[in-house]
Copies of this chain bind each other. A is one copy, B any other.
Amino acid sequence: MARASRKQSIPVWAAEAGPHAEFVVSTRVRLARNFEGYPFAHLLSDEQRDQIWKRLLESLGQSEDFSTCQFSPLAKLPRRERLKLVEEHMLSPHMERPAPGAGMILSPEKDLAIMINEEDHLRIQIILPGLQLERGWERAEALDCRLEEVAAFAFHNDLGYLTACPTNLGTGMRASVMLHLPGLILNGQMGNLIGVLYGNDVMVRGFYGEGTRVHGNIFQLSNQKTLGRSESAILDELHKVTLQVIEKERTARKVLMAENRVSLENDVRRSLGIILYASAVSFEEALELLSMVRLGSEVGILGAEVRDFNLALTALGDAHLQRVARGETPEGEIDRRRADLLRTFVEER
């Protein structure tokens, strides 16, 4: 068992390109689980939280399956490390200030991330590059079985898995894909599409999930319902909808090129100019600029391309740009470092 170390690796979803990488940044399959015989997490005493954490540590910490994983009590991680995990989409933004007993089990590739004592006792997560819902589910299911060996999960024969929030009841599964959809945004179709998807039980959310804003034209699609359908039916439907959205994005790009090529080229080239020359850039703007240059490159109107778009999404975050774990960086310094790093993600051909 590896202890939490300052040296963090790059998540595999950010480091590698997966299936449909042109449109799909990453896939996540998340299962909410709770142990029998304990109240839900928000009603746990500090002692009970500690019991759950210790029980997992004892049971899994010695196991061969988790031998390369980090077991981190979140409160003991330096704040910057927690913020980096949020920027890498390993932690929910609200877990940045962890409750006592909140912890995390993380694989070195960061494709496996189990949050402990969050909203539920366990949040089992598999995060992969590109569109890999089936693979994500297989791995999450295997992990689910392995964790049930620790202690029995709260389960109801009619309802399925019991969860702290009723929106997770049943399968306890939230599957999601992160999509880069600049064409649909520029064409003004995204608003409509969100409504249509909602009617098809698919939720559209921002860059950091629930209640967060859209950055860099990146949207998270996820299943709305967790109850009354099997996991594979939910995943099949989300996979199908994702492919449809990709088709709509392809069409939107073709329409843009046919009807607004000149103004698109202008926007794209300006974005490139700002990336190459700005001396300070905010995170939000950096993602918008990269998104535009990436689009320009993908539709073939720009002699430049974005290298490692997925990596940029995490590496350009504030916490990733802090050089010292403790103490504040001078105001504006982060934006300047970001501008310097941002340039390296663009390559003129």
Contacts and interface: CB of A to CB of B under 8 A. Distances in A.
Interface centre among A275, A277, A336, by most B CB within 10 Å? A277
A265 B279 CA distance: 7
Interface stretch (A1-9, A76-84, A192-200, A266-274): A266-274
Contact of A263 (B273, B276, B280): B280
Interface string A253-270: 000000000110110011
Interface in A286-341: 332, 336, 339
Nearest to A273: B277
Contacts of A44: none
A278 interface: yes
Contacts of A273: 270, 272-278
A336 B262 contact: yes
A280 B339 CA distance: 24
B277 A270 contact: yes
A265 B332 CA distance: 13
B278 A262 contact: no
The number of chain A residues touching the other chain, given as a range, is 10 to 19
Contacts of A262: 279-280, 332, 336
A276 B265 CA distance: 14
Contacts of A274: 270, 273-274
A272 B279 contact: no
Given A262-B336, A332-B262, A277 B279 contact: no
Contacts of A265: 279
Nearest to A304: B277
Contact of A266 (B266, B269, B276, B279): B279
Contacts of A277: 269-270, 272-273, 276
A283 B280 CA distance: 26
A178 to B, nearest CB: 28
A279 B272 CA distance: 11
A339 B279 CA distance: 22
Nearest to A272: B277
Nearest to A264: B279
A336 B262 CA distance: 9
A276 B272 CA distance: 10
A269 B263 contact: no
A268 to B, nearest CB: 9
29 contacts: A262-B279, A262-B280, A262-B332, A262-B336, A263-B280, A263-B332, A265-B279, A266-B278, A266-B279, A266-B280, A266-B339, A269-B277, A269-B278, A269-B279, A270-B273, A270-B274, A270-B277, A270-B278, A272-B273, A272-B277, A273-B273, A273-B274, A273-B275, A273-B276, A273-B277, A273-B278, A274-B274, A276-B276, A276-B277
Interface of A: 262-263, 265-266, 269-270, 272-280, 332, 336, 339
Given A262-B279, A262-B336, 5 more contacts: A266-B339, A269-B278, A270-B274, A273-B275, A276-B277
Nearest 10 Cβ contacts at the A-B interface: A273-B277, A273-B273, A266-B280, A269-B277, A266-B279, A270-B278, A273-B274, A269-B279, A265-B279, A272-B277
